[in-house]
Amino acid sequence: MSEKVLMKGNEAIGEAAIRSGCRHFFGYPITPQTELSAYMAKKMPKIGGVFLQAESEVAAINMVYGAAGAGARAMTSSSSPGISLKSEGISYIAGADLPCVIVDIVRGGPGLGGIQPAQSDYFQVTKGGGHGDYHLIVYAPNSVQEIVSLTADAFNKSEEYRVPAMILGDGTLGQMMEPVDFDSVPEPITTNKDWATTGTGLKREHNIINSLYLSPEALEKTIIERQKRYDIIKEKEQRYEAHDIEDADIVVTAYGTTSRVVESAVKTLREEGLKVGVIRPITLWPFPVKVFAEAANTAKAFLSVEMSMGQMVEDVKIAVNGKAPVYFFGRTGGIIPTPQEIIEEVRKIAGGLK
């Protein structure tokens, strides 16, 4: 029988990363992800790993660049303002096709914003953040148990595609404690890292980790090659959880912490007899467009609930493609929507459908 332990979300990321073969963690303190750095600082020296507190988020992500380029499974974590600082390095990592995992425990913004949970960095993590044509594979767990499995998946998929991956959480998810087991952590995959800088040993041509191509033709070629991998990811890696969408008049969608509030609201609504279904994106990039497109054939309306002023709703609209109206409800600045607010919003939409 599997053994369950009570753990904070942030710590679970750390333990899952270690079990996924990560031995190099480069951090910088910021609320609300601090427990992850503290966990790594405690664990890494005991297992022959490296925990290094960098001088800045900028330095930390560049240490990840170096470590990942040298062939290691490397990780860094931060929260919104820190991810803005890391965005330079993330762009270079994407441009050099290096695998790594970046954790973003989102807090309210813009600027210093606040330290309470938010989802107002959806655009930043799914549409870029740094410069250039690039994407991260973005996983949005909604429980501590799912944090564990998605952290492992993030390392494996990042290596499989040589695309950096992100675990996107928020202060609630990072700080709350839930029982977890680590039996679900898959074996780390091994990929051929013959591109890594490990020293030539005078036995091969030198390897170069780089994102600079002064010839436009050469640069375009690398971007197109990378886009082909993105296309495969978009085809194969869309992940979501959905229920009750077959007969749903209204499909409510939310990710992460918000999805748990939505579940509670939808339970009440269905008990009232309203035909409400749920789609919970697990990957935010690639966005699970297929399930939305399919649901749009029967559903009469969609509602995106977010802790933002409306960001994911744009991707929902693209996926629904005009087949049904797409509504938005959100709270922001560190406020979590209540089930009652969502219930009222759905009732309003349902009233309009009659």
Which residues would be at the binding site for other proteins (CB under 8 A)?
24, 26, 50, 52, 54-56, 58-60, 62-72, 74, 88-89, 92, 96, 197-203, 206-212
N-term to C-term CA, the chain: 51
Q: Supply φ then ψ for residue 59, to 5 degrees.
A: -65, -40
Dist. CA 67–CA 77, nearest whole Å: 15
| Spatial CA neighbour of 281 closest among 80, 119, 48 | 119
Task: Give the total residue count for the chain.
Answer: 354
* Peptide linkage before 325 cis (omega within 30 of 0): no
Residue 130 Cβ vs other proteins, minimum distance, rounded to whole Å: 10
Cis amide prior to 164 (ω within 30 degrees): no
φ and ψ of 124, to 5 deg: -55, -45
Identify which of residues 61 and 279 has a Cβ nearer to other proteins in the complex.
Answer: 61
Nearer to other proteins, 89 or 109 (CB): 89
In the bound state with other proteins, the residue whose beta carbon lies nearer, of 123 and 213, is 213
Name the amino acid, one letter, at 120.
S
Instruction: Kindly tell me which of 198 and 338 has the beta carbon lying closer to other proteins.
Output: 198
**Gyration radius from the chain CA atoms:** 21
Comparison of 14 and 174: residue with beta carbon closer to other proteins: 14
| Distance of alpha carbon 17 from alpha carbon 185, whole angstroms | 9
Q: What is the DSSP secondary structure assignment for residue 204, as one 8-state letter? A: S
Q: Shortest Cβ distance from residue 77 to other proteins (Å)?
A: 15
d(CA 172, CA 168): 12
> What distance in Å separates the CA atoms of residue 165 and residue 22, rounded to the nearest whole number?
14
Q: Which is nearer to other proteins, 51 or 139 (CB)?
A: 51
* 61, 77, 341 from 24: Cα distances, Å: 12, 12, 43
Listed residue (327, 330, 322, 331) closest to 350, CA to CA: 327
Compare residues 209 and 335 and give the one whose CB is closer to other proteins.
209
Least distance to other proteins from the beta carbon of 198, Å?
7
Helix 9-19 to helix 144-161 angle (10° resolution) is 40
Q: Name the residue nearer to other proteins (CB basis): 61 or 254.
A: 61
Nearer to other proteins, 206 or 228 (CB): 206
For residue 191 the two structure tokens come to 């990929």
